[in-house]
Amino acid sequence: MPSSTVVLNNVRVFDGTRLTSPTSIAFARGAVVTGTPSGAETLDCGGATLLPGLFDTHVHLLAPDDLDALAAHGVTTALDMACWPHQRVDSFRGRVPDIRSAGVPAIGPGGNHARMPGMPSEAVLTDAGQAAPFVARRVAEGADYIKVVIEGDLLGQDVIDAVVREAAALGRPSVAHASSVDAYRRAVRAGADIITHVPRDGVPDEDTLAEMVRRRQVAVPTLAMMEASSVIFPAPEQAYAHSRDTVAALHAAGVPVLAGTDAFSGPGPIPDPVRQGSGLHRELELLVDAGLTEADALRSATVLAARHFGLPDRGVLMPGLRADAVLVDGDPLTDIRATRKVRRVWSAGVPVTLR
Ligand SMILES: [Zn+2]
């Protein structure tokens, strides 16, 4: 479907900080434009709220239905954090949402990740010398960033360091999986650009948080998954409280926090797993519950996600940037749950069919 030329009237726009008073905004040739483009159709939005298209900065893509569910919930950019083979990743590119992917993750031998069905053997690293060929292979396959899974001490610190270093050498951000205090400390020490999940066994100490700020590291907590998975741990409430308290501490320390869910539609151990699309709205609620303001939560899924994943063409509704947008009923700055009331979605100016 071609991108539409449209003027939205009587719409309140989230400008990255607050909602504007009712105004007009136009899309043409896939971008936000100033003035009224010729031949534009007009749409009266009745005072509804227009948000930049939402990001989910941690998903796992499996099938085309995943894309449809994300798009229907206003997610116009989805960042996959492990998907293979690379032909599957390629089949998801150029669609809605616009995706990026880590491809095959680097993991240690013998753990939960190594036992995941279909995990390719080339994912398993046992010494630092394997990092350079591993990262080069991912880059050749089109990986947008490099993922390393820190799970107990299955990977030596020298191996984690080497993966992060080799990623940087080839111009790729590194993303480290860390869901314990110890793993979090190792990820920070390695200098991973982005650290995903949060500990369920405690809250990182102040030195660790200060080092994250100093190194400009970024957090993708995936509270939706931490919440959904807590039921399979002993003392589930305690496990989730640690995750939530870590987000509060990260945010208070000044570490950028991005909205990501770890949504996955395949089989897994979690009885009620995080769903594609709806999970992002739960994540926004949980970020607010952890102490972010509603505006901070919206920034975590828009402008900050774009900034920290190197996508400067989106994340804010400004002239010249991509017309990725979600029209919702109500005011999510008063009640974050209003983001769930999706009326319309555009991806690069193309109206998305909601199903
Ligand atoms: Zn994940």
Do 147 and 178 have their domain in common? Answer: yes
Do 60 and 188 have their domain in common? Answer: yes
> What is the domain extent for residue 230?
54-308
Do 44 and 68 have their domain in common? Answer: no
CA of residue 261 to ligand 1 center, whole Å? 8
Domain CATH for 29: 2.30.40.10
Do 275 and 339 have their domain in common? Answer: no
Question: Which of these, 42, 71, 41, lies nearest to 56 by C-alpha position?
Answer: 71
Which long-range contacts (C-beta less than 8 Å, at least 24 apart) are formed by 76-80? 76/314, 76/324, 76/325, 76/326, 76/345, 76/346, 76/347, 76/352, 77/53, 77/305, 77/306, 77/311, 77/314, 77/324, 79/55, 79/144, 79/260, 79/305, 79/309
Do 301 and 222 have their domain in common? Answer: yes
Contact between 168 and 192 (Cβ < 8 Å): no
CA of residue 327 to ligand 1 center, whole Å? 28
Do 332 and 320 have their domain in common? Answer: yes
Q: What percent of the chain is modeled with pLDDT above 70?
A: 99
The model's pLDDT over 300-321, given as tens digits with 9 standing for 90+, comes to 999 999 999 999 999 999 999 9
Do 242 and 324 have their domain in common? Answer: no
Do 202 and 329 have their domain in common? Answer: no
Question: Which of these, 199, 196, 161, lies nearest to 309 by C-alpha position?
Answer: 196
Could you give the maximum distance between any two Cα atoms of the chain, in Å? 62
CA of residue 81 to ligand 1 center, whole Å? 6
Asked if residue 236 is part of any domain, the answer here is yes
Q: What percent of the chain is modeled with pLDDT above 90?
A: 95
Q: Is the pLDDT of residue 2 over 80?
A: no
Asked if residue 1 is part of any domain, the answer here is no
Q: What are phi and psi of 292, to 5 degrees?
A: -75, 150
Do 47 and 145 have their domain in common? Answer: no
Q: What residues does the ion ligand 1 have nearby, CB within 5 Å?
A: 81, 262
Q: Is the pLDDT of residue 231 over 90?
A: yes
Split into its structural domains, the chain has a count of 2
Do 122 and 162 have their domain in common? Answer: yes
pLDDT band (50, 70, 90) for residue 239: very high
The model's pLDDT over 82-125, given as tens digits with 9 standing for 90+, comes to 999 999 999 999 999 999 999 999 999 999 999 988 999 999 99
Predicted pLDDT of residue 291: 98
Buried b (16+ CB within 10 A) or exposed e, 20-52: eeeeebbbbebbbbeeeeeebeebebeebbbbb
The model's pLDDT over 38-89, given as tens digits with 9 standing for 90+, comes to 999 999 999 999 999 999 999 999 999 999 999 999 999 999 999 999 999 9
What's the mean pLDDT when you consider all of the chain?
A: 97
Predicted pLDDT of residue 1: 67
CA of residue 180 to ligand 1 center, whole Å? 15
Asked if residue 34 is part of any domain, the answer here is yes
Do 149 and 10 have their domain in common? Answer: no
Taking residues 252-258, what's their average pLDDT?
98
CA of residue 38 to ligand 1 center, whole Å? 45
Taking residues 192-217, what's their average pLDDT?
98
The model's pLDDT over 170-190, given as tens digits with 9 standing for 90+, comes to 999 999 999 999 999 999 999
CA of residue 177 to ligand 1 center, whole Å? 8
Do 94 and 28 have their domain in common? Answer: no
Domain CATH for 289: 3.20.20.140
